[in-house]
Amino acid sequence: MKITVREKEDITILDLEGNIDINASNLVESVGEILRQNIKDIVCNLEGVNLVDYVGISLLAVVYKNILNHSGRITLYNVPSHVMKLFAIVGLDKVFEYYPTEEQALSRIKEERVISQILRTQLRRRFKRVPISLDIEYKQKFSAKELFFHGRVVNVSAVGVFVVTDKVFSPGDLLTTRINFTPKPGIIDLDAKVVWVSEKESQPQGLPGMGITFHNITTEKQALIIQFVERHLARSTKG
């Protein structure tokens, strides 16, 4: 397989051409060399990929694990439809994040960097979960249906919420949400990802629930949520 390595906005981009199969071990080697240079953020352009077989799936899993072990990030873009179908069959659609364009993939990496920096540098109390009661509407992000489901947010942190509802989705599913952070900043539209699900028997409300993290969040919305959490933490401390 042919691999072209380039840099853009301090992020390494790999343009892949050919087949990801038994002869594509150079992909693992190339990623390993990039990581040894202490470069942790990688975007892969799959537009030129003709075929991914089951050996190629294993190679991609090795690449993903290697990047994860180095605390890095990887996104894919320009993924051909036949490759997307294979990813869905083997479950890699729940592992990799992929986007239609290079700009969107790069934007995601940059947003992840901002969030990671906040997590490293801000006080831990900002990410403590605050008991709350907020309205939330949500649906699967890529669903053709316009119907939103309703639930209640019962606790919130700067990076996610726990929702009690009679309609839960599976871990890894992407959601479109509307959360009413009352009284201010009010309703915020957010993408989110389901990270875990709780059975109704374990919830005092008698309904199932799901923990979701904010996904593709902008720095502006992140700042508003942090302010909301800090206000409620301050009130609880005074109380």
Distance CA(172)–CA(194), nearest Å, equals 5
Of the pLDDT bands very low, low, confident and very high (cuts 50, 70, 90), residue 158 is confident
Position 123 pLDDT exceeds 50: no
Are residue 131 and residue 191 in the same domain, yes or no? yes
Identify the DSSP state of 148. P
Segment 215-230 mean pLDDT: 89
pLDDT of residue 14: 97
pLDDT of residue 239: 53
Of residues 108 and 234, more confidently modeled: 108
Of the pLDDT bands very low, low, confident and very high (cuts 50, 70, 90), residue 126 is low
* Residue 131 C-alpha from the chain's centroid: 24
- The residue type at 220: E
Are residue 47 and residue 81 in the same domain, yes or no? yes
Segment 75-89 mean pLDDT: 93
Position 237 pLDDT exceeds 70: no
**pTM (whole model) above 0.95:** no
Are residue 96 and residue 133 in the same domain, yes or no? no
Distance CA(57)–CA(207), nearest Å, equals 38
Q: How many CA atoms lie within 13 A of 84 on its CB side?
A: 11
Are residue 45 and residue 100 in the same domain, yes or no? yes
Of residues 78 and 145, more confidently modeled: 78
At which of 87, 121, 155 does a domain end? 121
Segment 11-20 mean pLDDT: 96
Number of domains into which the chain is organized:
2
Segment 216-226 mean pLDDT: 89
Segment 32-60 mean pLDDT: 93
pLDDT of residue 48: 95
The residue segments making up the domain with residue 226 are 124-238
**CA dihedral over 199, 203, 206, 208, signed as positive or negative:** negative
CATH number of the domain enclosing 232: 2.40.10.220
pLDDT of residue 40: 87
Segment 80-108 mean pLDDT: 90
Are residue 48 and residue 128 in the same domain, yes or no? no
pLDDT of residue 206: 63
Contact 212, 175 (CB under 8 A): yes
CATH number of the domain enclosing 103: 3.30.750.24
The overall average pLDDT reported for the chain is 88
At which of 121, 141, 168 does a domain end? 121
Q: At what angle do helices 54-69 and 81-90 cross, to 10 degrees?
A: 80
Question: By percentage, how much of the chain surpasses pLDDT 90?
Answer: 58
- Which residue, among 198, 232, 199, has the nearest Cα to 212 in the 3D structure? 198
The predicted-structure confidence for 193-210, as pLDDT tens digits, reads as follows: 999 898 765 555 567 899
Are residue 112 and residue 141 in the same domain, yes or no? no
Position 235 pLDDT exceeds 80: no
